[in-house]
Amino acid sequence: MTYANLRQSVSAWAWHLTETGVAPGARVAICLPDPVGYAVALLGVLAAGRVAVPLDPAAPAPELARVLDIAKAEAMICESAAGLPPVPTVLQPPAEGRETRPAPPSAGGGIFLCTSGTTGTPKGIELGEEQLAHVASAVARQHQLTPDDRGYCTLPLFHVNAEVVGLLATLSAGACLVLDRAFSRRRFWPVIEEREITWINAVPAIIAVLAMAQDQPAPHPRVRFVRSASAPLPSAVLVRFEQLTGLPVIETYGMTEAASMITANPLDGQRKPGSVGLPAGTELRVVRYDGEEPVLCSEYVVGQVQIRGPGVITSYASGGRPGVIDQDGWLDTGDLGHLDEDGYLYLAGRSDDVINRGGEKIYPREIEDVLLTQPGVLTAVVVGAEDEVLGQRPVAYIVPKDAELTDTALADALLAACEAALPKPKRPSAVVVVEELPLGPTGKVARRRLRELATASQPRA
């Protein structure tokens, strides 16, 4: 699709919404299976001055109903409403070939996203046009995108990463974007070659799978970098992938409340493995509290990561824990981390994920980093299981690389490795070998679900 085609399609959507009586500012849900159609509808809603509510077309009806109830959507764009929760107005894409006119004048549109975070409490986040444009422009600048670039994105368009980093940043740069329905290990590199991709928008789960390939072809010479976001990328996985492919991995950090990107590593060779980089278009600080007053943390001292800026929300549309945004506009991300002497941010984990073992505070990533360096480990996640005596105890869930070792042999080997590398309070009380981990749609591990499983099963070493 050319930019001229896109303008025509977006204009058609704007008139379609107006003619069907969807008022400016109304929230319009989008539930389409085709990523290109999804992208055009999203841009059409934005350009028409309405607020898009992206939905997961594969989600069960109760989950869609939950999001629609929180968003108070007045209309929904879908190919068929069968099996979907009812909304006042159901729209199908405008007929192809219809006469197009300049889009009707409108106020700025936006995107409404619903996230449960780590607590399970629903939060509604509305990102305005100015916020979206600010962050999209910051992404394009940070990654030095130009009209010569071709991005590749297999991430879902109902998530802020694909919407802003993939779609809007591409448009901000006047570049090209290749959208795919889903990640396929078998098709991945052939598509990169065929489409002459220059950068890849990925998540750690994708990078980890690609890092395990033994028959890795040489990537197309046009590829400049692979971008990692949406979840922590283990250093061991980064090193494996770069050694295998020769491509640099750019680690970044973001969240929905900041319209995606907060920090990113630079492209000029000053990347720091294990760090999520420098602030990019957003103010950032790391603090601890002395009573109610925030105190800036010194270098390498772990504290609460807080942000503010043109891309950061100043209030939640619905939900959100009290006090998460202070009177000066600083938003507490819920993440813990520290800054080094050069201002690079290193994340230690979510404040909700910290394990309190008899008063000893344990960051899961400390244990995960040890486990990921051991032979036979593909993925490692550590969570806190409830314990009657200690309060919590660390339990490790492992996805093995292959079946060479029995589950028991691998678990015993990993427990021994932790005993050699970690002080006693930080050693996992059990190692559970599983075929796969529960993941969200963007590749994040559902740690809350694992905590529930760990507590219910009460595994022991």
Which pLDDT score, from 0 to 100, does residue 99 have?
57
The pLDDT tens digits for 273-329 are: 889 999 999 999 999 998 889 999 999 999 999 999 999 999 999 988 888 999 999
Instruction: For residue 233, give Cα distances in angstroms to 237, 262, 339, 397, 420.
Output: 7, 16, 18, 16, 24
Phi, psi of 182 (to 5 degrees): -165, 160
Query: What is the mean pLDDT, run by run of 10 residues, along the chain of 461 residues?
Result: 93 90 95 95 95 93 89 93 88 73 77 72 89 97 98 95 97 98 92 96 90 75 93 85 93 96 92 93 95 93 96 92 90 95 93 85 89 89 87 92 77 93 91 87 77 72 44
The pLDDT tens digits for 27-44 are: 999 999 999 999 999 999
Which pLDDT score, from 0 to 100, does residue 66 have?
87
Q: Write the CB contacts of 185 (distance below 8 Å, at least 6 apart in sequence).
A: 209, 210, 213
State both tokens at 190: 């052939």
Q: Model's pTM, two decimal places?
A: 0.85
Residue/partner pairs of 33-41 with CB below 8 Å, 24 or more apart: 33/57, 33/79, 33/181, 34/181, 35/157, 35/179, 35/180, 35/181, 36/1, 36/179, 37/93, 38/157, 39/157, 39/167, 39/179, 40/1, 40/6, 40/9, 40/10, 40/13, 41/13, 41/77, 41/93
Which pLDDT score, from 0 to 100, does residue 272 have?
92
CB 314 within 8 A of CB 329: yes
Which domains occur in the chain, in start order? 3-108 (3.40.50.980), 150-351 (3.40.50.12780), 354-457 (3.30.300.30)
